[in-house]
Amino acid sequence: CAPHPEVSTAYTAYVMGIMTQLAKRFGNEADAALFGEYHEGCRKAYQELVTTEEYPLDTDRQARLVRPLALDLLTEEQADFARNRLIRAMESYGWRLGTGFLSTPMILDVLSDIDIGAAYRLLENEEIPGWLSMPKLGATTIWESWEGPYNKQGAGAGSLNHYSKGAMCEWLFKTMCGIRIDGENRFVIAPRPGGSLTHAEASWNSIYGMVKSGWQSDETGTEYRITVPANCCAEVILPGMDAVQALSGTHMWRIPNGH
């Protein structure tokens, strides 16, 4: 297998960042300092790597733009360029999905940070390769192969319930419906409606109990319905409204358009 310095440098930086956090969590400041030094060294190496002719940020390859943005590897100037370049890359590919196994789980998060409308535009694309092309072909799960469960010879073409493309389901929970854990007995619930969708709802049977978040939009506004488990609280952040603290129970808000 040929070496791939862009991928290996990116993930070495990522792992060293995690090790830094773990060392701090367990009170080992010496290890935290060492891992932190490695992490910053890999970040700087990556920042230099993308200035070379072989691994430029000026590319239509979505993965090469998504990965450094998701893993926070770039300088501020490089990150601004990569965000704008990613939108151009999406336009060039007709807002179809062009990432592989490593970056597909990250792309909706990265696009959401740039523009939530861009994330929904990718999500709702019904052309191959795109998530909604699968239900058009009769899928009830997320296939490994875009074209379907069988190849031209009728043999199995891959998994019928696959992680790489299916990892986007995390985005449905934590961004579309906005359910995120925020410590012991505490959640942040910050749904972000968008695209042509008129409603969405998610529920998660957490270790603290069932937490639910849903929204429904019409021509006048959006109604939100959120359920916080017993003995828990949540910070609720809705578009056009200041954050509020919600105790256990079911809560509803309606926000008119334009707010």
Q: Looking at residue 28, what is its pLDDT?
A: 97
Interstrand relation of 186-189 and 221-236 (parallel, antiparallel or unpaired): parallel
In this prediction, residue 162 carries a pLDDT of 86
What values do phi and psi take at 57, rounded to 5?
A: -75, -15
The residue type at 157: A
| Tens-digit pLDDT string for the chain (259 aa) | 456 899 999 999 999 999 999 999 999 999 999 999 999 999 999 999 999 999 999 999 999 999 999 999 999 999 999 999 999 999 999 999 999 888 999 999 999 999 999 999 999 999 999 999 999 888 888 888 887 766 655 456 678 888 888 999 999 999 999 999 999 999 999 999 999 999 999 999 999 999 999 999 999 999 999 999 999 999 999 998 999 999 999 999 999 987 6
Q: What is the pLDDT of residue 206?
A: 94
Kindly tell me the sign of the dihedral angle through the C-alpha atoms of 114, 117, 118, 120: positive
pLDDT at 115: 97
pLDDT at residue 152, as a whole number: 58
Phi and psi at residue 215, to the nearest 5°: -145, 155
Angstrom distance (rounded) from CA 194 to CA 145: 27
Helix ranges (DSSP H) in 26-147: 29-49, 62-70, 76-92, 104-114, 116-123, 133-136
Q: Rounded to an integer, what distance in angstroms lies between the CA atom of residue 251 and that of residue 43?
A: 43
Q: Specify the pLDDT at position 1.
A: 47
Q: What are phi and psi of 179, to 5 degrees?
A: -90, 120
Burial of 220 (0-12, 13-18, 19+ CB in 10 A): exposed
- Can you list the alpha helix ranges (DSSP code H) found in the chain? 5-25, 29-49, 62-70, 76-92, 104-114, 116-123, 133-136, 163-166, 169-171
Residue 172 carries which DSSP code? I
Q: How far apart are CA 157 and CA 150, in angstroms?
A: 5
Number of Cβ within a 10 Å radius of residue 155? 8
Q: Are strands 199-206 and 209-217 parallel, antiparallel or unpaired?
A: antiparallel
For residue 257, give the DSSP letter.
T
